[in-house]
Structure 1
Amino acid sequence: MAKLDRKVFIFIFILILCAIFSSCQTAGIPLKDKRLTANNEIVETHGQLQNIVRLDAFINNVKNEMKDKVRLTRYTTEGDPIYHDLDYADSKLTFTMDTREDEFGQGAVTKSICKGIQKQELETETNYILTGCENESMKGLLTIFHDVDKEDNFAFELKYGVGKKNEINTKEERLIKDLQNGETVAVSDFQFSKKEMNQIYKLLKLSNYLGDKNLTTKCNKKPNKSYELNVWINSGERHFEWTECDHSPDGKEMTKLVHDILTILKKNPTYETLPKVKGNDE
């Protein structure tokens, strides 16, 4: 009886191993290819973006004929991943799309050899396009929409600088500039143009403002520049606070976001009429 039980146990164990092995072979990309580091994977989830700068770096490497490989993982409405692998080597760009983990997809792996990849930036959308592909239907890689008119509501408030004395508030149409001499100047009917708002919305999307951010307001430097950002999008709201001492990846990304927004602000006709300040105009 003991021998019989042992045989049954071995048989069941073999069946379990076979099932595990089978699932490893059929569950989308082989496991060895899933071990790409976070630095080499771009993720798009219902408009939310992670690590999009890595795709820009890939484009630059292809332009300079440098070997590179990245993955774009896009999640469907149901939460299923579709893998888009881009592999550039020997002046050849291989694009592989795997839909085997998409419940409503074709459940297949499709490859195409392309000549290159381009980033097309328009006012209301940014397109990543593969060029010279054998399979023309695969040339559209990713489109990022940033048209504020397509949203029911979009506004933001940014307070920044030493003591957060500077403020941009598109919800209340208020602009405050710290002159850094003990005085501030305010504009009560400030507005960005539609083009400027689209640019800022794009910056927010590229910074993945809807994602979770690990930020800190701690800073040993005195005085220090601190930041507070509120974003209203449709019926939702996002709030962030951090300082210039936050050198974490999220801190650096959010500080760059502020600098990019201020670059747009400083070209605004209304802002250009305001008095100059001493030192760094932030």
Structure 2
Amino acid sequence: MKKLTVLFFILLIAGCDRVNSSTDIDMNVNDEPSPYISTPEDIVDTHGEIKNLERFEDFFRNVQLGKEDSIRVAKYTIEGDPILHELKYDGKIIKSTYDSRRDQFGQGSIIHSACSLIDTAETNESTNYLLRDCEPPIENSSILVIEK
């Protein structure tokens, strides 16, 4: 009976360890990410051709009004690899998650940042939407560039 009890606890501990390991695997940027599957809510930028631009404009407006919202922007590289940028606004802070793990020629990383606003930089040719006042600071703060 004592051996059965010890075996039970070993299996129980091993089972718990397996659950924790799978959670760590999902968060490990060195592992292969799941394939990107576009949803109808995604804003998709394929070399300047933007699908679902209205949804992005709604998000931008909601941030300006202080209303909670979230979006996912998928930008395709020249080679056809998606780079995902998730933005979650809680009414005060924009939490940014930039995931380039599917880009075979990129950094292959996930970058998290918290930003206080979205700003625009306009030229005669385009409007660039940029994250501002981010912590930690991010190199490329561009979310979306809309050609005029």
**Normalising to structure 2: TM-score of the pair?**
0.71
Name the structure where helix makes up a greater proportion of residues.
1
**Residue 48 of structure 2 corresponds to which residue in structure 1?**
47
Is 1:115 aligned to residue 146 of structure 2?
Answer: no
* Consecutive aligned runs of 4 or more in structure 1 exceeding 6 Å deviation: none
Taking the aligned partners of 1:37 and 1:77, their CA distance within structure 2 comes to: 21
CA shift at 1:143, angstroms? 2.2
Taking the aligned partners of 2:95 and 2:127, their CA distance within structure 1 comes to: 22
**Residue 102 of structure 1 corresponds to which residue in structure 2?**
103
1:108-135 CA-partner distances (Å, limit 9, x unpaired): 1101110011233332111111111121
Taking the aligned partners of 2:102 and 2:67, their CA distance within structure 1 comes to: 31
Say if 1:95 and 1:113, in contact at 8 Å, map to a contact too.
Answer: yes
Taking the aligned partners of 2:58 and 2:101, their CA distance within structure 1 comes to: 28
CA shift at 1:85, angstroms? 0.5
Q: Tell me which of the two structures has the higher relative contact order, counting C-alpha pairs closer than 8 angstroms and 6 or more residues apart.
A: 2
Amino acid across the alignment from 1:45: T
**Residue 88 of structure 2 corresponds to which residue in structure 1?**
87
Amino acid across the alignment from 1:137: E
Taking the aligned partners of 2:91 and 2:145, their CA distance within structure 1 comes to: 27
1:224-264 CA-partner distances (Å, limit 9, x unpaired): xxxxxxxxxxxxxxxxxxxxxxxxxxxxxxxxxxxxxxxxx
Flag the 1:77–1:120 CA change in 2: closer, same or farther, 3 A. same
Flag the 1:78–1:121 CA change in 2: closer, same or farther, 3 A. same
- Aligned to 1:63, what secondary structure does the other structure show? helix
Taking the aligned partners of 2:138 and 2:98, their CA distance within structure 1 comes to: 13
1:125-154 CA-partner distances (Å, limit 9, x unpaired): 111111111214132222234xxxxxxxxx
Equivalent residue runs for 1:1-282 within 5 Å: 25=26, 26-28=31-33, 37-38=39-40, 40-134=41-135, 135-145=137-147, 202=148
Say if 2:116 and 2:132, in contact at 8 Å, map to a contact too.
Answer: yes
Flag the 1:101–1:69 CA change in 2: closer, same or farther, 3 A. same
**Residue 273 of structure 1 corresponds to which residue in structure 2?**
none
**Residue 18 of structure 2 corresponds to which residue in structure 1?**
none
- Aligned to 1:137, what secondary structure does the other structure show? coil
CA shift at 1:37, angstroms? 4.0
Identity %: 37
Amino acid across the alignment from 1:125: S
Flag the 1:37–1:67 CA change in 2: closer, same or farther, 3 A. farther
CA shift at 1:57, angstroms? 0.8
Aligned Cα RMSD in Å?
A: 2.4
- Aligned to 1:138, what secondary structure does the other structure show? coil
Unaligned runs of 5+ in 2: 1-21
Number of aligned residue pairs: 120
For the pair shown, which has the larger CA radius of gyration, 1 or 2? 1
1:25-64 CA-partner distances (Å, limit 9, x unpaired): 4443x68xx67741x3100111211111211110111111
Taking the aligned partners of 1:108 and 1:81, their CA distance within structure 2 comes to: 13
Flag the 1:142–1:90 CA change in 2: closer, same or farther, 3 A. closer
Taking the aligned partners of 1:75 and 1:99, their CA distance within structure 2 comes to: 10
Name the structure where strand makes up a greater proportion of residues.
2
Say if 2:63 and 2:91, in contact at 8 Å, map to a contact too.
Answer: no
Say if 2:101 and 2:108, in contact at 8 Å, map to a contact too.
Answer: yes
